[in-house]
Amino acid sequence: SQKIEQNSEALNIQEGKTATLTCNYTNYSPAYLQWYRQDPGRGPVFLLLIRENEKEKRKERLKVTFDTTLKQSLFHITASQPADSATYLCALDIGGGTYKYIFGTGTRLKVLA
Amino acid sequence: DAGVIQSPRHEVTEMGQEVTLRCKPISGHDYLFWYRQTMMRGLELLIYFNNNVPIDDSGMPEDRFSAKMPNASFSTLKIQPSEPRDSAVYFCASTRGLDTGELFFGEGSRLTVL
């Protein structure tokens, strides 16, 4: 069956540390994988996209890796801040580039001051 | 741009009533998506459109749900009759087909069916 799993429903880390979130999937060969941030009561907001032929993508304090052999993406936030506290969702294009994006259940990150 | 606009933001209705949720995508975006979010099931894709034509409605739960996109700037998601298990936050999102599919989400419509 179609499945996207994100590690631990909730993750607490200390301010200044690196947060690492995991997205694992089965039965797909996605052309693109995206990461979104969602704050309570708001819609998800796009953060990063990585293509199937890319290993790593960076944007400021964010880094995403994509291992199509392991069927896994890692999302890192370096020098984490309390303002980074939110739910983070990964999304896969399962339509071969047709924008049919399905989402993981998300990881709720809390950065402690 | 004002972003994706959804209405109503909150809707409370009784079981059996018809519910209509509305969405205005970002101008120039040719893909429009309807998602539903619950604690139990997360964010589920219900249906999406390209150039006002439904591309994939395999996520629509059952015949009680229907979606239309009469023009490039407006879409509706209708539930008739509504049931308590339809209670969720419904999100609309849009994107431009020339790009890599970054989805722009609205703020959602929170539906409560009593």
* Least confident window among A73-82, A95-104, B80-89: A95-104
What is the spatial distance between Cα A49 and Cα A32, in angstroms, rounded to a whole number?
7
Confidence tier at A61 by pLDDT (50, 70, 90): very high
Q: Is the pLDDT of residue A1 over 60?
A: no
Q: What is the dihedral of CA A68, A94, B28, B76, to 10 degrees?
A: -150
Identify whether the C-beta of residue B57 lies closer than 8 Å to the C-beta of residue B68.
Answer: no
Which of B35, B100, B108 minimises the CB distance to A49? B100
Per-residue model confidence as pLDDT tens digits over B69-110: 999 999 999 999 999 999 999 999 999 977 677 999 999 999
Query: Which pLDDT score, from 0 to 100, does residue B1 have?
Result: 64
- Average pLDDT value for residue range B46-66: 94
Query: Which pLDDT score, from 0 to 100, does residue B2 have?
Result: 83
Give the angle B44-B49-B50 at the CA atoms, nearest 5°: 135
- Average pLDDT value for residue range A44-65: 94
Mean per-residue pLDDT of chain A: 92
Cβ contacts of B14 within 8 Å, gap of 6 or more = B82, B113, B114
Which chain A residues touch B88 with a CB distance below 8 Å?
none
Mean per-residue pLDDT of chain B: 95
Query: Which pLDDT score, from 0 to 100, does residue B101 have?
Result: 79
Q: Report the half-sphere exposure of B92 (CA within 13 A, side-chain side).
A: 29
Which of B35, B48, B103 minimises the CB distance to A46? B103
What is the spatial distance between Cα A7 and Cα A111, in angstroms, rounded to a whole number?
16
B60 interfaces chain A, CB cutoff of 8 Å: no
Identify whether the C-beta of residue A90 lies closer than 8 Å to the C-beta of residue A34.
Answer: yes
